[in-house]
Amino acid sequence: MTAHVDLHAVPGHDAHHEIEIPYTVHPRPDTGVYNGKLGIWLFLASEVMLFGALFSTLILLRTSSNHWPRGWEELNIPLATLNTFILIGSSVTVILAWANLRLGQLKKAKIFLALTLLCGLGFMIIKSIEYASKFQHHHYPSTNNFFATYFVMTGLHGLHVLGGMIVFAYLLLTADKWYAKHRDQFTNRVEVTGLYWHFVDLVWIFLFPTLYLL
Amino acid sequence: MPPKRQIRVGSQWMYARDAQRALEEAIRVAEEERGQHEHHVPFLRKYVFSTDHKWIGIQYAITALTFLLLGFSMMLIMRWQLAFPGRSMMDIPLIGSLLVKFLGAANAPGGVMLPEFYNQLGAMHGTVMVFLAIVPLAVGAFGNYVVPLQIGAPDMAFPKLNMMSYWMYLPGGLIMLSSFFIPGGAANSGWTSYPPLSVIATDGQTVWILGMVLLITSSLLGSVNFIVTIFQLRAKGLTFMRMPFFVWAQLVTSFLLLLAFPPLEAAAILQFMDRVAGTSFFMPSGLVVSGTPLANAGGGNPLLWQHLFWFLAHPEVYVLILPGMGIIAEVIANNTRKPLWGYKSLVGAGVFLGFMSFVVWAHHMFMTGMGTVISAFFQTTTMIISIPSVVILTALIISLWGASIRFTVPMLFALAFLPMFGIGGLTGLPLGLAASDIHLHDTYYVIGHFHYVVAPGTIFAMFAGIYYWFPKATGRLMNEKLGKLHFWASLIFINGVFSPMFLQGLMGVSRRLYDGGAQYAHAKPVLHTNVFISASAWLLLLAQVPFIVNFFYSMFKGKRAGANHWNATTIEWAATTSPPLGHGNFVHMPVVYRGPYEYSVPGYDAADFLPQTIPDSEPLTPTEAGGGMLAAGAVAQKEL
């Protein structure tokens, strides 16, 4: 018996090439997203649980406490308000960076990425001024549970801001190379980082009233 | 019996069996050619920092099995103290003096282990078994190796994250173990690390937290990867309701890991702050330790930890069991040679189980005085969550009905899983009801209950999986005789270990006693079972020797296996035997034409299995029974 099985469709395998994973750049038709986008949404879902647990901690400790300082008695509202606007502004600039990439305007996109990075930097500088003044007044995490939750929640949020800044710096430094090599992929990277950045922004929008205003 | 049906390959008609042989031969030749063209992949890249899901799966498997043995050994040492409290370990035949030397005078002066060391072993046994052995084995190993193959994907969606996940897990585990060597020894506040005890404990607890943060990050990366892979990389035609139950189980498991672990991470951060920065998240006011009032600010709540911890740790229970159920479903379908009974119910129950597992956590806390209303809520949800578990078990048992069962080694483990998991599940009901839990809480009954779920339950499922997929991973078969010896010995001794614990627990023996209950009058009548349990545990270790020998011997010298050794239907068996590392998994990207368990299809006489990837182009005569299947196939093709 002569069995002829058609094998001409075997793709050329070459160890130098990475295995081609489908839908890394373009969306899968039935799910409507590319891999990275779904990945970041799932990651953000887990982040919601992380910060959710901390907010629950705050609620539980505060409701069971006899004396819980009002946020505005202990914390600096003007500085925090300024920080709120800086972060919201950075959420806008990151969108503009992505939109410009979609339009093919790499230069503009880079400017907006740099602005986003600067906003992040500004936020961190203001935050560190706040921290320094707390330490000056001998307010530490160990002082009481109000400051413990304040430092842990804003500290963890600050780490998230820092993480975002590192990614933006990386995107800026590699922008030309990646844009030339694979424009769509680079645009996706900015989009995905932007989604993360919005989340970091959103966490602050919850943190600000809960810690400072209530 | 001569083959009857012909299928079309290219422009030719040929018998299905010939086509299969020809395809296998063609794949072999293609493999060889591919091998000749293969470029040299550096050793580190191929075997250490590999991004290939198959190799990462094997890395996970070997690491997790090592941790499994290690966690088991810790318990074996503890069992000596429980069986013969205060007797020197020098009296242990053969290995006594060696063991005493290994443990050192700091932990076991004169061969008698110190209570502090006993506590360290207890805490680390739990931690190692849950976080370093079972979950990495169930999810990291089986999930990584099997899921991409079973959905017809070239690899995981994020291969580099996959590598990172393993390289967070291994250091996390090593860091955790390293704490045995620091002053004060390893964490000793139980695997649950309840404060305030854990906050004032020795430095080992800080190391425990650091290790946990790495492990949590590892499982976070893994779970995102699994979910994206399953959603995005399913082969053409593989709709959700055509996915094998194992893939469903891994999908639900990944969601549990994704959403349940972060609260533990938050709790770990808070405990870390309590220990290092002097905060009082979990420390109430007015604590006095060894006669000295603690200097912390107070005002914290120890129950907060318990809530955050069990919010993870209850879903974690289902993380432990679901992949096991998935493996059992695959093995049962394959060895009964008929479709699983109630596939849709299985999937529905699995998903429902996942949802419910997030609202039962406080049934671990009935004794904390949460109040009757909250207790009533959580005992209700706990009773509800038992329903999907029963659905899954029932569907698997009914699947056996009327089958001509092949008693292969994986099937033996699968068959044993059913009653063993049944015992574990049913003994959980009295613990889920607040009234009976008051008597049973924190006794050996609890230990017996969850070990029945995890040890002869999940671990047997893991063994079933290893025996089942070994030929796929290595291209060789494991020895049947050694496998059966391993199975029967394990089954007997594992029951010897855990069934007397129910008795002890019902008598009220607490689970955390250094002397096994010797100083309590109420424990006297069941004290002698400690020796029986310990002897069974040591024999259980011996029962693993045939497995270990079999594993390594068969890896190199086992009988060669074909690409589809078990005549299975799911997609992983359409890949070549032991798919090569560092490449895509399939010669052709597979296309799926039907559901996962088309065994003994009426009207299809060529074989008693119809793989998911074989096209429907073959001119089957629709018989009365087969008509439905064919129609379904035709519809499916239109969908494509």
Picking from B401, B302, B285, B272, the residue whose alpha carbon sits closest to that of residue B342 is B401
Range of the domain at A109: 35-213
Provide DSSP, B246-283: HHHHHHHHHHHHHHHHHHHHHHHHHHHHHHHT---SS-
Report the residue of B228, B236, B586 to disrupt the A interface, i.e. the one with the largest count of A CBs within 10 Å. B228
Picking from A23, A126, A10, A148, the residue whose alpha carbon sits closest to that of residue A77 is A126
Residue B37, both tokens: 């063209």
Distance CA B274, CA B259 (A): 24
Nearest chain B residue (CA) to A50:
B262
Distance CA B244, CA B238 (A): 10
Kindly determine whether residue A22 and residue B232, on different chains, have CB atoms separated by under 8 Å: yes
How far A176 CA sits from the closest chain B CA (Å)? 23
Average pLDDT for B408-413: 98
Kindly report, residue by residue over A34-87, the tens digit of the pLDDT: 999 999 999 999 999 999 999 999 999 999 998 899 999 999 999 999 999 999
For residue A193, is it within any domain?
yes
Picking from A158, A159, A135, the residue whose alpha carbon sits closest to that of residue A147 is A135
For residue A155, is it within any domain?
yes
Kindly determine whether residue A39 and residue B158, on different chains, have CB atoms separated by under 8 Å: yes
User: How large a percentage of chain B has pLDDT more than 90?
Assistant: 82
Report the residue of B231, B305, B308, B368 to disrupt the A interface, i.e. the one with the largest count of A CBs within 10 Å. B231
Cβ contacts (< 8 Å) between B39 and chain A: which residues? 14-16
> Which residue of B261, B280, B304 is in closest CB contact with A57?
B304
Please give the ipTM for the structure prediction.
0.91
Cα B243 to Cα A64, B162, B217, B235, B571, distances in angstroms: 48, 22, 28, 10, 10
Kindly determine whether residue A142 and residue B228, on different chains, have CB atoms separated by under 8 Å: no
Kindly determine whether residue A142 and residue B280, on different chains, have CB atoms separated by under 8 Å: yes
User: How many CB atoms are closer than 10 A to CB A66?
Assistant: 6
In angstroms and rounded to an integer, the radius of gyration of the C-alpha atoms of chain A is 23
Distance CA B202, CA B376 (A): 37
Average pLDDT for A121-134: 97
Kindly determine whether residue A13 and residue B262, on different chains, have CB atoms separated by under 8 Å: no
For residue A8, is it within any domain?
no
Kindly determine whether residue B232 and residue A38, on different chains, have CB atoms separated by under 8 Å: yes
For residue A24, is it within any domain?
no
pLDDT value for B45: 83
Q: What's the mean per-residue pLDDT of chain A?
A: 91
CB proximity list for B358: less than 8 A, separation 6 or greater: B259, B260, B311, B314, B315
> Which residue of A20, A22, A141 is in closest CB contact with B273?
A141
Kindly determine whether residue A145 and residue B588, on different chains, have CB atoms separated by under 8 Å: no
How far A65 CA sits from the closest chain B CA (Å)? 7
For residue A22, is it within any domain?
no
Kindly report, residue by residue over B294-329, the tens digit of the pLDDT: 988 889 999 999 999 999 999 999 999 999 999 999
B547 half-sphere exposure, CB direction, 13 A CA radius: 22
CA angle A118, A119, A122 (to 5 degrees): 85
pLDDT value for B44: 84
Residue B375, both tokens: 């207790």
For residue A13, is it within any domain?
no
How far A12 CA sits from the closest chain B CA (Å)? 9
Cβ contacts (< 8 Å) between B9 and chain A: which residues? 3-6
Count: domains in chain A: 1
Nearest chain B residue (CA) to A24:
B157
Helix (H) or strand (E) holding B6: strand B6-9
Place of tokens 């308000």: A81
> CATH no. for residue A128?
1.20.120.80
Interface contacts (A, B; CB < 8 Å): 167
Please give the model's pTM, rounded to 2 decimal places: 0.91
For residue A3, is it within any domain?
no
CB proximity list for B475: less than 8 A, separation 6 or greater: B560, B561, B577, B578
For residue A148, is it within any domain?
yes
Average pLDDT for A141-157: 96
Average pLDDT for B259-282: 96
Which band of pLDDT confidence, cut at 50, 70 and 90, is reported for residue A18? low
Kindly report, residue by residue over B585-629, the tens digit of the pLDDT: 887 789 999 999 999 999 888 889 999 998 876 544 444 333 334
Q: Give the dihedral of Cα atoms B65, B66, B71, B77; nearest 10 deg.
A: 130
Q: What backbone torsions phi and psi does residue B96 show, to the nearest 5 degrees?
A: -50, -60
Cβ contacts (< 8 Å) between A20 and chain B: which residues? 154, 584
